[in-house]
Each structure stands twice: as structure tokens, then as C-alpha cells.
């Protein structure tokens, strides 16, 4: 019997592609998350003044929120076909790569800049390129720690809830296990990241501000998760077609064990 090379196996290639896309999105979300954007201004609508826990404000989010829904989608798909071990593996891999990325970002900040480079962007309105580089890539350690702890905790909760719902419902209601696991995991994620970064961290947010901003962030993530339900079914159908029904069923059966 001739054994097919590992990288020619469709399930192996699928896992590599999903894991790579998952890690790339997680890493990009961490780095672009330093930018805060106004949702109303971006959409060209009047500001929506929310009022929660005695706090008011407009809808402002980190740019990383554009990518986290894709991470949720990848988590659910990998959960579906590769199970707990698959999700845990890519989650730890993503955390390692994020740490690696920030380590070299701080190393790059510490390098002595060429003097001509410091003023190279003045025609574009950037007086000090080194200061701008450090401000963008040198996120606070409390923010980094909060994000990593919340991400890993959320992933571990997601996989546990996903499979608990799967055991209760079988192969029915894909949307329920995907959205249900996201609802629980992101409830934890949304509050943990802000608590570590801005309550325990040097900014010392009051409880009312922490609760208000965390609730708004969680509401956004849940709306995004619901909006992506059709994509879950489309991606699932595409994977079944790529693998073949028999191979896909064997993977799902093994993933649910």
C-alpha cells in the first residue's frame, strides 16, 4: 500500500490553512488594536449617545474588532472538524506568536534610529518618526497582558461550551453551538481584557466606566457573531465539499469524541 505524503492529505492542508489564517488574524488584531475608531463617523451617521451605568459616550472601538469576528469563525470551524485538541493547539500557537511579535516590536523600538529617518515623514505631518513608531507598536504591558489572558481564557471556554452543546444536540443546530460558545467565551473575554488593562492597570478605571465599556464591547461582538452565522454554514459546506462527505463525517465524529 502506497502512503500519501502528509502535505498531500486534504485534511492536513485544511488544518494548516485554517490555523495560519487564525493566527494571522489574531496577531494582526493585536497590533492594529492600538487604533480607536468612531463607528458613527466611519458609517457617516449621527453619534449614538449610549447611557449605561451612569456613563455616556459614542460608539468607539479598537480597530482589532474588525478581525476578532474572523477569529471566532475560525475557532468554530476548527472546533467542528478538529475538536478540542485542534483549538487548544492553535490558541497556544497564536499566543506564542503574539508574544514573539511584541518581543521584536519592543526590540525594534529600542534600536537607535537613523537621524535622517526620524524626520523622514515630516512632509506627511509626522514630526518624529521614532516617537510615532514607539507609540503605535509599544503598547502598554498591562494592555498586552490583559489581551493575552482574555484571549486564551476565552478560547478554552469556547471549546468547552461548544462541545457541551454538541453533546446535547448532536449534529443539529450548528448555529447554536457556534453562537452559544461565542456568547459565553466573549462575555468572559470582553470583561477580563478591560479589567486587567484598565482597572488593575495604571489608568484605574472606576467600576461604572469598566462595566459600561465592557458591555458595549460585548454587545458588538455578539452582533458580529450573529451576523456571521451564514458564513459558518457556507464555510462548513465548502469544507465538506473539499474533503468529501465521508472524510468530513469521520473528522467530525473524531472531533466530537
pLDDT tens digits along 104-147? 999 999 999 999 999 999 999 999 999 999 988 887 788 888 88
Confidence at 24, pLDDT banded by 50, 70, 90: very high
For the chain, how many helices (H) and strands (E)? 10, 4
pLDDT for residue 253 is more than 80? yes
Confidence at 78, pLDDT banded by 50, 70, 90: very high
172 dihedral zone (left: phi>0; alpha: psi -120 to 50; beta): beta
Q: Rounded to 5 degrees, what angle do the CA atoms 50, 221, 170 make?
A: 140
Residue with cell 502598554: 140
> What pLDDT is stored for residue 8 in this prediction?
74
Q: Three cell numbers at 180? A: 452559544
The mean pLDDT value for 18-31 works out to: 92
CB 134 within 8 A of CB 109: yes
pLDDT digits (tens, 9 = 90+) for 34-43: 888 888 888 8
End-to-end CA distance of the chain: 29
> What pLDDT is stored for residue 103 in this prediction?
93
Q: What share of the chain is helix, strand, coil (3-state, %, to 5)?
A: 75, 5, 20
How crowded is residue 112: how many other Cβ atoms within 10 Å of its Cβ? Answer: 6
pLDDT digits (tens, 9 = 90+) for 176-226: 888 889 899 889 888 998 899 889 887 888 999 889 888 988 988 889 888
List Cα–Cα distances, 198 to 31, 146, 161, in angstroms.
Answer: 18, 9, 28
How crowded is residue 6: how many other Cβ atoms within 10 Å of its Cβ? Answer: 8
Between CA 248 and CA 254 the distance in angstroms is 10
> What pLDDT is stored for residue 1 in this prediction?
42
pLDDT for residue 3 is more than 70? no
pLDDT for residue 33 is more than 60? yes
> What pLDDT is stored for residue 5 in this prediction?
67
Confidence at 54, pLDDT banded by 50, 70, 90: confident
List Cα–Cα distances, 244 to 24, 79, 201, 229, 254, in angstroms.
Answer: 27, 18, 50, 22, 16
What is the pLDDT of the chain when averaged over all its residues?
88
Domains of the chain: 9-112+127-248 (1.10.1760)
Q: Quick check: pTM over 0.75?
A: yes
> What pLDDT is stored for residue 153 in this prediction?
92
Between CA 147 and CA 28 the distance in angstroms is 13
Burial of 223 (0-12, 13-18, 19+ CB in 10 A): exposed
List Cα–Cα distances, 66 to 36, 62, 190, in angstroms.
Answer: 11, 8, 15
Amino acid at each position: 500500500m502506497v502512503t500519501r505524503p502528509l502535505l498531500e492529505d486534504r485534511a492536513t492542508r485544511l488544518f494548516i490553512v485554517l490555523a495560519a489564517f487564525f493566527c494571522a488574524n489574531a496577531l494582526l488584531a493585536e497590533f492594529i488594536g492600538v487604533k480607536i475608531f468612531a463607528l458613527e463617523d466611519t458609517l457617516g451617521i449621527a453619534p449614538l449617545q449610549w447611557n449605561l451605568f451612569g456613563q455616556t459616550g459614542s460608539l468607539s472601538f479598537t480597530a482589532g474588532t474588525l478581525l476578532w469576528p474572523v477569529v471566532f469563525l475560525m475557532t468554530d470551524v476548527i472546533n467542528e472538524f478538529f475538536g478540542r485538541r485542534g483549538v487548544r493547539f492553535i490558541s497556544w500557537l497564536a499566543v506564542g506568536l503574539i508574544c514573539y511579535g511584541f518581543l521584536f516590536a519592543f526590540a525594534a523600538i529600542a534600536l537607535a534610529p537613523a537621524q535622517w529617518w526620524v524626520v523622514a515623514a515630516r512632509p506627511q505631518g509626522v514630526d518624529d518618526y521614532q516617537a510615532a513608531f514607539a507609540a503605535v507598536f509599544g503598547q502598554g504591558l498591562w494592555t498586552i497582558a490583559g489581551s493575552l489572558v482574555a484571549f486564551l481564557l476565552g478560547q478554552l471556554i469556547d471549546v468547552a461550551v461548544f462541545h457541551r452543546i454538541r453533546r446535547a444536540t448532536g449534529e443539529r443546530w450548528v448555529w447554536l453551538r457556534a453562537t452559544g460558545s461565542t456568547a459565553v467565551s466573549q462575555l468572559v473575554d470582553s470583561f477580563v481584557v478591560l479589567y486587567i488593562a484598565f482597572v488593575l492597570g495604571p489608568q484605574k478605571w472606576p467600576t461604572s466606566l469598566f462595566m459600561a465599556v465592557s458591555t458595549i464591547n460585548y454587545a458588538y461582538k455578539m452582533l458580529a457573531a450573529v451576523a456571521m452565522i451564514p458564513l459558518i454554514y457556507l464555510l462548513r459546506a465548502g469544507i465538506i465539499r473539499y474533503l468529501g462527505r465521508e472524510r468530513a463525517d469521520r473528522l467530525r465524529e473524531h472531533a466530537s469524541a
